[in-house]
Amino acid sequence: MEKLLDRLIEKNRYLTQFGQVANYIPALEKANPEDIGICLIDGKGKQYCSGAYHKKFSIQSISKVIALMVALMDNGEEGVFKRVGMEPTDEPFNSFYKLDLPQGEKPANPMINSGAIVTTSLIKGEGEEKVNRLIYILRKITSNHDITYNEEVFLSEKETGHKNRAIAYLLKNKGLLEGEVEEVLDAYFKQCSIEMDCRDLAKVGWFLANKGRILKSKEQVCSEEIITTILAIMTTCGMYNFSGEYAVRVGIPSKSGVAGGILAAAVNGMGIGVYGPALDQYGNSIAGYGILKDLSKELNLNIFY
């Protein structure tokens, strides 16, 4: 398996030259665009890693998966989905499309920024408590107690996140946002700044692929029903406005982030974490996508086959 991962990394490395590191959050510009790493944990818990798998990166939009999970645990399906939809969209992840219509439109889904800002607002807790709850559950899932958020990345996005700020105020205006706008935004920017490496990410993938059980203890920390909902939303919306093509070519429930991470949960109980900060036009890791496409074929992971 390690040989296969090494081979796929080398095969897809050339793609990094066609991508670009995210620069709209200045702190992300420091990443090395040539980095690629992967970690895969099979159904039995055996780990295989290759490339720059040990490099830490901020999870960015991947945090939307965990925020959705905690929001569902706190509020139930109805409480969450009356404020955010479950429909894919062909608009980019940071769009405020439909948020300024006179009718009661809600954000399309929880995997784009507008929807995720709503789910973050639904997480119980004041101030720092929301992000602390996300960090707590991520530490539990990964058994890595060093997981925390990166202050520099947080401040960098807080300073430059004007579009997210505009989205949040529109949501507030529509009555879709609980609590103080700036407090919700701080929680959202902090959750995006949580740092992990490919191994941590693969453990989160394993947790999802095994319906809410923790790799180390096998403890069930979330209902199977919630995980099933999350996996369906990852499949239809996890790669933003590339989710349709990704489903055709890869067919693994996945979620990407603009720092270059991709979290994937395969049907056979396999968890995968990929890193490659050079992004394509949709904001997905360009080489990460290439690797997952190949891996899906090699290991028969496409859920539609």
Give the residues lining the site for ligand GLN (CB under 6 A): 60-61, 93-94, 113, 157, 164, 192, 257-258, 283
Q: How far apart are CA 288 and CA 16, in angstroms?
A: 9
Q: How far apart are CA 182 and CA 300, in angstroms?
A: 45
80 is catalytic: no
- 64 carries an active-site annotation: yes
Number of CB atoms found within 10 A of residue 262's CB: 30
**Considering beta carbons, is residue 115 or 283 the nearer one to ligand GLN?**
283
Pairs from 32-35 (Cβ < 8 Å, separation ≥ 24): 32/277, 33/277, 33/278, 34/278, 35/260, 35/275, 35/276, 35/277
Residue 59 or 272 having the CB closest to ligand GLN: 59
* Closest CB to ligand GLN among residues 150, 229: 150
Residue of 21, 48, 50, 64 marked catalytic: 64
Closer residue to ligand GLN (CB): 113 or 235: 113
Closest distance to ligand GLN from the beta carbon of 76 (Å) = 26
- Shortest Cβ 94–ligand GLN spacing (Å): 5
Rounded distance between C-alpha atoms, residue 239 and residue 246, angstroms: 7
Backbone angles phi, psi at 285, to 5 degrees: -55, 125
For residue 213, the cross-strand partners are: 220
Cβ-based nearer residue to ligand GLN, 142 or 164: 164
Instruction: Quickly list H helices, the chain.
Output: 2-12, 63-81, 113-122, 129-142, 151-160, 162-173, 181-192, 198-209, 224-237, 243-249, 286-299
> Which one of the listed residues 84, 184, 258, 274 is annotated catalytic?
258
204 catalytic per annotation:
no
Minimum distance between the CB of residue 177 and ligand GLN, rounded to whole angstroms?
15
Cα–Cα distance between 52 and 6 in angstroms, integer? 11
- Told to judge if 63 belongs to the known catalytic residues of this protein, a careful annotator would answer no
Residue 180: CB minimum distance to ligand GLN, A: 18
The answer to whether 114 is a known catalytic residue is no
Q: What is the sign of the dihedral through the CA atoms of 26, 31, 36 and 38?
A: negative
Task: Determine the Cα–Cα distance for residues 290 and 166; give it in Å rounded to an integer.
Answer: 34
The one catalytic residue among 53, 149, 240, 246 = 240
Annotated catalytic residues are: 61, 64, 188, 240, 258
